[in-house]
Amino acid sequence: MIQRRALVDAFERELVRREVPNYFKNLKIVEALYNEARALGALPPADPLDGIEVDVHLARVLNVRASS
């Protein structure tokens, strides 16, 4: 259990602020996460169209234009 949460939060914010973004390092992390998801069977989905009805319904609801 963390005793001084505010101190740890301040440390983490400072660490993130000082770290320079590295595109290639971040790309390697994303690729590793993708490969792990594939190894676990989470990707690709067994049925790519599973749940498409919900997506279509949401798209119709969100893209309604008000009449003028």
Q: What is the pLDDT along the chain (68 residues), one digit of tens a residue?
A: 788 999 999 999 999 999 999 999 999 999 999 999 999 988 888 888 988 999 999 999 998 776 65
Residue 59 near residue 50 (C-beta atoms within 8 A): no
In Å, what is the CA distance from 38 to each residue of 8, 13, 26, 45, 50?
A: 34, 32, 19, 9, 18
At 45 the three-state DSSP class reads: coil
Output the pTM of the full model. 0.52
Domain ranges of the chain: 5-62
Half-sphere exposure of 21 toward its Cβ, with a 13 Å CA cutoff? 2
